[in-house]
Amino acid sequence: MALPATDPTLTRNVLVVDADPAFVETAEQLLGDHKVHKARNVSDAQRRLVEESIELAIIGPTYAHAAGVSESAMLLDLQPDLPMVLVSDALNTEVLRAAIRAGYRDVVDVPLTPQKVAEMLSIIEQVHRREEEERAGRHKIGKVVTIMSPKGGAGKTMTTANVALTLAMWGDPSRVVVLDADLQFGDICISLQVDPQHTIVDVARDIDKLDEALLDSLLATHSSGMRVLSAPLEPSLADEVSTQVVVKTIGMLKRMFDYVIIDTAPFLDEPVLSILERSDVVLLVVDMDLPSVKNAKLALDTLRLIKFPFEKIKLVLNRVNSKARLDVNELERSLGLEVQAAISSDKLVPRAVNEGEPVVSLYPRSKVARDLRSVAALVLDEDEKIPEEEVKSRRWFR
Ligand SMILES: Nc1ncnc2c1ncn2[C@@H]1O[C@H](COP(=O)(O)OP(=O)(O)O)[C@@H](O)[C@H]1O
Ligand SMILES: [Mg+2]
């Protein structure tokens, strides 16, 4: 979305804080017709915040050090969504990180220029626009869908790729993102034939200055327009991606997209549990063999222990028509969950994987594609449901 043109005639209330009168004066000159409120120190500034409706705070070089940053950030206790910009005479990463962590919107270096001041003022508009969107309910928070199975080879990645692409084609592909959280052996990019320039390792390396624009630049784009955040390209790099990084990434992605579809590693370890806690829907993929059922049962026992909300879990059976027939009723009884969808076993699936295109788009008329669309439908709320007739008639990209 493009920023609305800046309206230069709008008078803004700007607070300028610094012990050096020369800095404050320069800022005041550059702010031209805007209403400038001056403060020599933080307690002065606090008083101004209470008395005036300040829309932006420019904090001067007096505060451009670790202690100054935390002192000035106390202004955010009074007005948490106040956009604050630090002007620093010693722009180093230490100050930068401290400021961003404390809640500053931006850090710029001296000297102030008309261009820098104009950029600061545009933050006010961004904030107002966001508030307006939230009021209008347009800024909808996306749905987080996690595909899990405590057993490798159960069909998680296959399900992730097909569900994500189905949701993308039912709606707006650019509003769907796939996060490959199988940090050691993630292969979603291979199944989707996406060649990532960046991975979640880059997200981890930039975590302190991560914002939506930076995160967006680290996403790859699938041929449909759907976005993908790749797993590390080598297992050894997985260590660089902490659970906090994954959690922060999910939090940001759900503000940027309608659907965040997450592929996971075949464990129920700390990272996967943290992802599950942040999920709206969990697709538990169970392959039709005894070890898979046994592991699913153990995983569900653990989730029951930690009081995970079971209504979020949708049980999906994979390879239902394969030779190893298990009794579905018995399976449901043993897992304590009803089967919500079933995927047939079909050689078109590995064939599609090798073609680098999910089966729902390569063979949209196959039975297995229809099965996978009903798995995707589990993710939708009642009012979002799409009838199968319409689904069939929709054109798929090639
Ligand atoms: N329904 C199915 N029919 C045929 N092959 C399948 C099916 N589901 C999965 N596979 C194949 O099984 C293998 C493992 O699937 P994958 O999605 O990579 O599992 P996971 O991500 O759980 O380890 C892949 O080669 C995939 O093509
Ligand atoms: Mg996988």
- How much is the pLDDT for 135? 73
Going from the C-alpha of 169 to that of each of 44, 174, 281, 303, the distances in angstroms are 55, 10, 19, 32
Q: Is the peptide bond before 196 cis (omega within 30 degrees of 0)?
A: no
Residue 2 domain flag: no
Do 169 and 227 reside in the same domain of the chain? yes
What is the token pair recorded at 364?
A: 């949209």
Residue 85 CA, ligand 2 centroid: distance in Å: 43
Q: Would you list the DSSP string of 198-249?
A: -BHHHHHHTGGG--HHHHHHT-EE-TTS-EEEBPPSSGGGGGGS-HHHHHHH
- Give the separation between CA 215 and CA 233, rounded to whole angstroms: 18
pLDDT in tens, 65-92: 999 999 999 999 888 889 999 999 987 8
Q: What stretches in the chain show pLDDT beneath 50?
A: 1-5, 393-398
The pTM score is 0.68
- How much is the pLDDT for 389? 57
Do 268 and 225 reside in the same domain of the chain? yes
Q: Give, for 42, the enclosing helix (H) or strand (E).
A: helix 42-51
Does the CA dihedral 304-305-307-308 come out positive or negative?
negative
- How much is the pLDDT for 108? 92
Residue 38 sits in a domain whose CATH number is: 3.40.50.2300
Residue 69 domain flag: yes
Do 313 and 369 reside in the same domain of the chain? yes
Cβ of 343 closer than 6 Å to ligand 1, yes or no, is yes
- Give the separation between CA 331 and CA 334, rounded to whole angstroms: 5
Angle CA(67)–CA(50)–CA(30) in degrees, nearest 5? Answer: 70
What is the token pair recorded at 8?
A: 């230069």
Residue 201 sits in a domain whose CATH number is: 3.40.50.300
Do 323 and 303 reside in the same domain of the chain? yes
Minimum-distance ligand 1 atom for the alpha carbon of 161? 17
- Say how many domains are in the chain: 2
Residue 4 domain flag: no
- Give the separation between CA 48 and CA 97, rounded to whole angstroms: 27
What is the token pair recorded at 372?
A: 């996978």
* Residues written for the chain: 398
How many CB atoms are located within 10 Å of the residue 304 CB? Answer: 11
The distance between the two most distant Cα atoms of the chain, rounded to a whole number of Å, is 82
- How much is the pLDDT for 398? 32
The ligand placed nearest to the CA atom of residue 183 is 2
- Give the separation between CA 108 and CA 116, rounded to whole angstroms: 8
- How much is the pLDDT for 130? 76
What 3-state DSSP class applies to 5?
coil
> Which of 135, 159, 192 represents a domain boundary (last residue)?
135
Do 100 and 167 reside in the same domain of the chain? no
Do 104 and 241 reside in the same domain of the chain? no
Residue-range definition of the domain harbouring residue 200: 143-393
The beta strands (E) that lie in 61-201 are given as: 84-88, 106-109, 143-148, 176-181
Cβ of 68 closer than 6 Å to ligand 1, yes or no, is no
- How much is the pLDDT for 1? 36
Do 283 and 351 reside in the same domain of the chain? yes
Residue 3 domain flag: no
Residue 398 domain flag: no
Do 192 and 115 reside in the same domain of the chain? no
The residue contributing the CA closest to ligand 1 atom 9 is 155
> Which of 135, 161, 192 represents a domain boundary (last residue)?
135
The ligand placed nearest to the CA atom of residue 322 is 1
Residue 153 CA, ligand 1 centroid: distance in Å: 6
Do 122 and 218 reside in the same domain of the chain? no
Axis-axis angle for helices 156-170, 367-377 (nearest 10): 80
Do 238 and 358 reside in the same domain of the chain? yes
Cβ of 158 closer than 6 Å to ligand 1, yes or no, is yes
> Which of 100, 135, 170 represents a domain boundary (last residue)?
135
Do 293 and 353 reside in the same domain of the chain? yes
Residue 21 domain flag: yes
Do 35 and 147 reside in the same domain of the chain? no
How remote is the C-alpha of 387 from its chain's centroid? Answer: 29
- How much is the pLDDT for 4? 41
